């Protein structure tokens, strides 16, 4: 799950080369909103802009990225079209949902906060080795597996 930044996909390839890469739905819709603004700059909350955004949000969800890019190229917005074109395989939201994948990063971000809360309290300082050990312990606690982990350590 990423926002479309190249470094995210580079890390994903290194860490999980067989993983499924998905552009976060919120970020994709934000780029689509930017496209609607570029296409209809003088019509902030106009019905025309809202209809376009609704129609193309549906296209985005259905994985019809070619419809988005064609419209943007037609109106000389190659920079905006490039984002969708570059991430087309990562924006197959209907397919991802059918396969049971989340399309938004909320769950991941919430999970990260559970670890961050434990590791970043006032005055806490960790070296990498101890932080990694604490991550294992925190995961065991959150997953109700601490007792098993403790037994293995003993």
Does residue 70 sit in the same domain as residue 135?
A: no
At how many degrees (to 10) do helices 25-39 and 78-86 cross?
160
Question: How much is the pLDDT for 139?
Answer: 82
Does residue 37 sit in the same domain as residue 111?
A: no
Question: How much is the pLDDT for 115?
Answer: 79
Q: Mean per-residue pLDDT for 80-98?
A: 97
Last residue of a domain, one of 98, 117, 134: 98
Does residue 24 sit in the same domain as residue 78?
A: yes
Does residue 14 sit in the same domain as residue 87?
A: yes
**Nearest 5°: CA angle at 27, between 112 and 11?**
55
Look at 148 and 69; give whichever has higher pLDDT: 69
| Measured distance CA(46)–CA(54) in Å, rounded | 12
Does residue 93 sit in the same domain as residue 116?
A: no
Least confident segment among 75-84, 88-97, 100-109:
100-109
Range of the domain at 22: 6-98
Does residue 120 sit in the same domain as residue 91?
A: no
Q: Which two tokens stand for residue 129?
A: 């080795």
Q: Mean per-residue pLDDT for 114-125?
A: 83
Counting the structural domains of the chain, the total is 2
Question: How much is the pLDDT for 89?
Answer: 96
Question: How much is the pLDDT for 119?
Answer: 83
pLDDT higher than 70, residue 154 = no
Radius of gyration of the chain (CA): 21
Does residue 67 sit in the same domain as residue 125?
A: no
Who's near 95: CB < 8 A, 6+ residues apart? 63
Q: Mean per-residue pLDDT for 70-83?
A: 97
Does residue 21 sit in the same domain as residue 83?
A: yes
- 1 lies in some domain: no
- 15 lies in some domain: yes
Does residue 18 sit in the same domain as residue 63?
A: yes
- 147 lies in some domain: yes
Note the pLDDT tens digit of each residue in 47-76.
999 999 999 999 999 999 999 999 999 999
Does residue 21 sit in the same domain as residue 77?
A: yes
- 29 lies in some domain: yes
Q: What secondary structure letter does DSSP report for 109? A: H
Note the pLDDT tens digit of each residue in 22-47.
999 999 999 999 999 999 998 777 89
- 92 lies in some domain: yes
- 94 lies in some domain: yes
């Amino acid at each position: 799950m990423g926002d479309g930044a190249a470094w995210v996909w580079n890390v994903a390839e290194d860490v999980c080369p067989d993983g499924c890469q998905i552009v976060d739905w919120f970020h994709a819709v934000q780029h689509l909103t930017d496209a609607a603004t570029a296409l209809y700059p003088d019509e902030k909350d106009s019905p025309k802009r809202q209809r376009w955004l609704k129609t193309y949000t549906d296209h985005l969800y259905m994985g019809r990225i070619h419809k988005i890019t064609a419209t943007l190229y037609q109106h000389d917005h190659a920079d905006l079209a490039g984002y969708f074109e570059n991430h087309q395989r990562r924006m197959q939201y209907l397919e991802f949902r059918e396969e049971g994948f989340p399309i938004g990063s909320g769950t991941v971000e919430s999970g990260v906060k559970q670890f961050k809360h434990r590791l970043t309290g006032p005055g806490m300082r960790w070296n990498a080795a101890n932080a990694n050990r604490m991550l294992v312990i925190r995961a065991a606690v959150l997953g109700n597996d601490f007792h098993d982990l403790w037994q293995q350590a003993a």
